[in-house]
Amino acid sequence: MGSNRRENLVNEYRWPYDRSETPSFPTIEVNIISPTLNVELQTSRTLRLKVDTGYAGQIMLSTDLYNQGFHLAELPEEKFGMYRTAAGPVEVKRARAMVRLPSLSAIVEGIVETPRRIHFDRNLAGRGLLQQFQLLLDGPKAESCLTLG
């Protein structure tokens, strides 16, 4: 879990880098609420997202996680997206989710995506999400520090 500090009326959230890869990978943590029909709205899942500034969208979910309820808040197919990658085009399906940062009371609406025809096993935070915050990548400390201005 990330620690929550208050300094000069600014909220900061810090998370350690993911050390499962070398060099370690910056991450942020969010709560994502899906419309899964058999759980209460307050039930949300805390997710650690890898920071991927090469990804233009907001949140890319793993196939397995997307399948846990996000088909119930899907956008129409005409609003699905396409990413051009070095490995060829990747079509993504999109759904509407409620996203919040730990300890932040406000919930923002977000778009989550996952590849439509390819099994994907990671959870990513892209530029579409990161542009809403100030994010400091502290390499020597291996910490991401997200600031709500």
Partner 1 sequence: MRIRRTFTLSEKLLREITDFRWRNHIPSLSQALELILTRALDVSSQVTVHQEDDAVQAEREINNKAYRQIKATLVHEKQGSFVVIANGSLLACAGTLEDAYSILRQKVPTARHAIIDRIDEKLQAEAVWEAIGERIS
Three-state DSSP string of 13-80? EEEECECCCCCCECEEEEEEECCCCCCCCCCCEEEEEEECCCCCCCEECCHHHHCCCHHHHECCHHHC
Would you count residue 52 as binding partner 1 (CB under 8 A)? yes
Among 38, 106, 140, 149, binds partner 1 (CB under 8 A): 38
Given the complex with partner 1, which of 7 and 21 has the nearer CB atom? 21
On whether the CB atoms of residues 97 and 32 are closer than 8 A, the answer is: yes
Q: Are strands 45-51 and 124-125 parallel, antiparallel or unpaired?
A: parallel
Among 11, 35, 45, 102, binds partner 1 (CB under 8 A): 35
What is the pattern of x (binds partner 1, CB under 8 A) and - over residues 56-75? Answer: xx-----x---x---xxxxx
Burial 54-89 (b: 16+ CB within 10 A, else e): ebebbbbbbeebbeebbeebbeeeeeeeebeeeeee
Given the complex with partner 1, which of 9 and 37 has the nearer CB atom? 37
Given the complex with partner 1, which of 8 and 22 has the nearer CB atom? 22
Q: Which of residues 105-124 bind partner 1 (CB under 8 A)?
A: 107, 109, 111, 115-121
What is the pattern of x (binds partner 1, CB under 8 A) and - over residues 87-106? Answer: xx-x---xxx-x--------
Binding site for partner 1 (CB under 8 A): 33, 35, 37-38, 41, 52-57, 63, 67, 71-79, 81-88, 90, 94-96, 98, 107, 109, 111, 115-121
